[in-house]
Structure 1
Amino acid sequence: MRWQPVALDAAMVAVATVEVWATRSMGGPYALAASSLAAAALALRRRLPLPVFAATLPALSLGYIWLAPMAALYTIAAGERRRRVVAACTAAVAFVSFYPWPWLGHVNWEPAATVLAVLLSALLATAPTALGLLAQSRRELTARLAELAAGRERERRLAAEQAVVRERTRMAREMHDTVAHHISLIAVQSGALEVTARTDDARAAAGAVRELSRGALDELRRMVGLLRLPVDAGQPEDGPGLADLPALLTAAGPAVRGDLPAVEDCACPAPVQHAAYRTVQEALTNVRKHAPGAVTDVVLRLVGDDLLVAVRNGPSDGAPGPALPSGGHGLTGLRERATQLGGTLLAEPDPDGGFLVRAVLPLGETRR
């Protein structure tokens, strides 16, 4: 937090001031001025470490002011990357604290007193330096660990993206090699059947199958292209939207009735339009599979800031056709689309034997 360094500096100045007050009677006015200057200078030790350190040396030469020089030396050792500067400041503290300055009076050079003076000077010089270097090493180690963790996270994300790309490429290859092949055969054979058919109904049915096969191939090529896009390419906005719904309802047959006033509103975001189209498409597919020939109503309206999509079919008017393969993921996929857009999807049977699929899709900031 930003207030912590300020609070720490204020506490350091306060402690140094207490030291000055406690030793005020040990020197004259010049000693008191030097000590007060050293204590006050600590407030700027982070911005001007070297000038503050120099301002504390006169107080250190008095022989009884230690906290301010030690704090200034610690600041230099913790923040200065030039080892020569740190060594020079350490040597300066040791020299100033040991040298017999004239204002100190008589100096005792007996062996025991000299050894104690040397040890005290070494302690005053090396202890702040060691603590400062330790703090600097700890800070650098923390930064290195953070960089290492970020690098590992990037590697993990890259490995996951590469795995997704490989899987998407495999899926695209399988879809192109298998599904596209069979749909192409259906289109070719339906085209041949359209040419050789003897009745108009047979030719019309063969032509419809050929057109549906061609549309399926176009959709398949689009999906293969999407699977081969990079992972970070974003969500493409191309694909069927509201403008394609009338053609979809026309191809579904006369039993499908549409109420589509929202089709003319082109301000709907592309993802919402695409989700609405897929909702209607999947619902009509389920009607053809489970209730062939049932009267179906498709409603598309703007309700406030939402797009309402509803597909309701009645009971089937005949026997169901041959069972078609199904993975059971159609409604699940529609519900996932609606959830991704922040909407909801309801799919439930009607009391009269029909079925209702109702989606509410928020239009988002683009509409507003």
Structure 2
Amino acid sequence: MRFRAAAPDTALLALSATEVWATRSFGGPVSLAFACLGTAALPLRRRFPLTAYATTLPALALGYIWFSPMGTLYEISAGGAARERGTLPRRTLRPAMSGWVSGRALLIGGCALLAAVVNLVPWPFRDPVTWSLSDTILAVMLSALLAVAPTALGLLASSRRELTGRLAELAASREREHALAAEQAVVRERARLAREMHDTVAHHISLIAVQSGALEATAKGPQARAAASAVRELSRDALDELRRMVGLLRLPAATAQELAAGPGLAGIPALIAAAGPQTHGDLAVVAEGADGEPPAEVQQAAYRIVQEALTNVRKHAPGARTRVRVQRSGAELLVEVRNGPGTQPSPAALPSGGHGLAGLRERAAQLGGEFAALPGPSGGFVVRARLPLLPDGRAG
């Protein structure tokens, strides 16, 4: 790519040097010196096009040099003068930019006219010129060609560059429109899910809470009242969490992510207590210390892993002895729920989509961690996860 970018400059420099060598005997030592100076100024034409252009004018006036002034004039027409000033405004059809366009047009036109006049008007150091009609016409045509050709090519290059920029802006604008349309579709889908959850799930959970409250009031035995009270409390907690999730679904995606932290490590003891006397917990997590508190997303993932694992124990192995361990080990948080075989008859099968463990595995993978769920050696089940405490799963 660098070779292709430098090829035009190298070719122009070679042509100008060849022209100087071919005309070295036409004008004497002064003309040759200015011709060499004009050729030497060509590498500067991209950063200082006006300076390079002024350096080539004496060579154009005193000798037979064309390539160096044409090259610098092309660079001015292509926008090099604006780059020398440090700004390159983009042309537009709006009237607000007409002043800049006029100033640039005057600059280009003035440089082209100056090149034509310098080439046409005889100077004292050049040979006498006969002003016959044919000679004058040829001189005017050659001077016009010298000025118009590089100017037209430079303007064409500038327009091409501007068109490329506009096409890039158009492509970027279309990408932004597509992204906005996709975001709006996500917002509409989130709103639809929020309505469905509120109209169906929330309705049924509310009925469960009401019925369990009535059952608690009419139950005769203490065990029945305790069971009804537990159902009512669980229903109320589920309803509160469902309402929180519905509220998050109705928020913009970015805001919802910031507010969706949910329960963390502080809620795990309540889960263990609600699971029954057969469940024990070892919570060796340093909430505050040299390493600070674990990130909110890690705490939420640990809470959900424990919650789902205890729910599965109650569904598939009721009465089983269960041990919950949440321990911080270096830059990782170890979460493990281990249960033995069930000691009570399994309840009636509950509806299940089979997505619980898959969702936990996805949570751990999003945090850069590991997740495993496998049968235990004594007939029970083990759910284990390692969650990194540093961003992107980088430890240490």
User: What TM-score results when the alignment is normalised by the length of structure 2?
Assistant: 0.85
Structure 2 residue identity aligned to 1:45: R
In the aligned structure 1, how far is the partner of 2:395 from the partner of 2:206? Answer: 40
Identical residues among aligned pairs (%): 64
User: Do structure 1's residue 256 and structure 2's residue 282 form an aligned pair?
Assistant: no
**Residue 340 (structure 2) aligns with:** 314
SS of aligned partner of 2:186? helix
In the aligned structure 2, how far is the partner of 1:75 from the partner of 1:107? Answer: 31
How far residue 263 of structure 1 moved from its aligned partner, in angstroms, is 6.3
In the aligned structure 2, how far is the partner of 1:324 from the partner of 1:124? Answer: 90
How far residue 254 of structure 1 moved from its aligned partner, in angstroms, is 1.1
How far residue 45 of structure 1 moved from its aligned partner, in angstroms, is 2.2
User: Do structure 1's residue 151 and structure 2's residue 173 form an aligned pair?
Assistant: yes
Structure 2 residue identity aligned to 1:58: P
In the aligned structure 1, how far is the partner of 2:3 from the partner of 2:267? Answer: 61
The more displaced of 353-362 and 260-269 is 260-269
**Residue 231 (structure 1) aligns with:** 253
SS of aligned partner of 1:260? strand
How far residue 107 of structure 1 moved from its aligned partner, in angstroms, is 2.8
8 Å CA contact retained: 1:298, 1:310:
yes
**Residue 302 (structure 1) aligns with:** 328
SS of aligned partner of 2:293? coil
How far residue 51 of structure 1 moved from its aligned partner, in angstroms, is 3.4
In the aligned structure 2, how far is the partner of 1:221 from the partner of 1:263? Answer: 31
Structure 2 residue identity aligned to 1:361: L
In the aligned structure 2, how far is the partner of 1:55 from the partner of 1:172? Answer: 73
SS of aligned partner of 2:182? helix
In the aligned structure 2, how far is the partner of 1:71 from the partner of 1:221? Answer: 72
Structure 2 residue identity aligned to 1:93: A
**Residue 197 (structure 2) aligns with:** 175
The more displaced of 117-126 and 135-144 is 117-126
For residues 196-218 of structure 1, the C-alpha deviation after alignment (integer angstroms, 9 at most, x for no partner) is 21111111111111110111011
**Residue 137 (structure 1) aligns with:** 159
**Residue 112 (structure 2) aligns with:** 90
8 Å CA contact retained: 1:10, 1:43:
no
How far residue 84 of structure 1 moved from its aligned partner, in angstroms, is 2.0
In the aligned structure 2, how far is the partner of 1:5 from the partner of 1:324? Answer: 70
After TM superposition, the runs of 4+ consecutive aligned structure 1 residues lying more than 6 A away are 1-8
Structure 2 residue identity aligned to 1:67: F
Give the alignment partner of residue 286 of structure 1, picking from 312, 317, 333. 312
8 Å CA contact retained: 1:315, 1:354:
yes
In the aligned structure 2, how far is the partner of 1:243 from the partner of 1:75? Answer: 69
- Alignment CA distance shift 1:63-1:367 (3 Å): closer
Structure 2 residue identity aligned to 1:151: S
In the aligned structure 1, how far is the partner of 2:23 from the partner of 2:287? Answer: 89
How far residue 112 of structure 1 moved from its aligned partner, in angstroms, is 5.0
In the aligned structure 1, how far is the partner of 2:126 from the partner of 2:294? Answer: 88
Q: How many residues are matched?
A: 368
After superposition, where does 1:177-256 map in structure 2 within 5 Å? Answer: 177-233=199-255, 234-236=257-259, 238-256=261-279
User: Do structure 1's residue 122 and structure 2's residue 144 form an aligned pair?
Assistant: yes
SS of aligned partner of 1:320? coil
8 Å CA contact retained: 2:322, 2:340:
yes
How far residue 91 of structure 1 moved from its aligned partner, in angstroms, is 2.1
Q: Could you list the runs of 5+ residues in structure 2 that have no partner in the other structure?
A: 82-100
In the aligned structure 2, how far is the partner of 1:294 from the partner of 1:3? Answer: 74
SS of aligned partner of 1:61? helix
- Alignment CA distance shift 1:235-1:2 (3 Å): farther
How far residue 264 of structure 1 moved from its aligned partner, in angstroms, is 4.7
8 Å CA contact retained: 2:340, 2:378:
yes
For residues 270-324 of structure 1, the C-alpha deviation after alignment (integer angstroms, 9 at most, x for no partner) is 1101000000100111111111222211111122211111112222223211111
In the aligned structure 2, how far is the partner of 1:256 from the partner of 1:25? Answer: 105
How far residue 341 of structure 1 moved from its aligned partner, in angstroms, is 0.3
User: Do structure 1's residue 333 and structure 2's residue 355 form an aligned pair?
Assistant: no
In the aligned structure 1, how far is the partner of 2:19 from the partner of 2:47? Answer: 23
**Residue 99 (structure 1) aligns with:** 121
Structure 1 residue identity aligned to 2:354: G
8 Å CA contact retained: 1:242, 1:263:
no
In the aligned structure 2, how far is the partner of 1:230 from the partner of 1:158? Answer: 12
In the aligned structure 2, how far is the partner of 1:232 from the partner of 1:16? Answer: 60
The more displaced of 240-249 and 54-63 is 54-63
In the aligned structure 1, how far is the partner of 2:211 from the partner of 2:77? Answer: 85
For residues 46-89 of structure 1, the C-alpha deviation after alignment (integer angstroms, 9 at most, x for no partner) is 33322332332221123511111101100110005511221222
8 Å CA contact retained: 1:269, 1:367:
no
Q: Could you list the runs of 5+ residues in structure 1 that have no partner in the other structure?
A: none
Structure 1 residue identity aligned to 2:374: E
In the aligned structure 1, how far is the partner of 2:16 from the partner of 2:60? Answer: 12
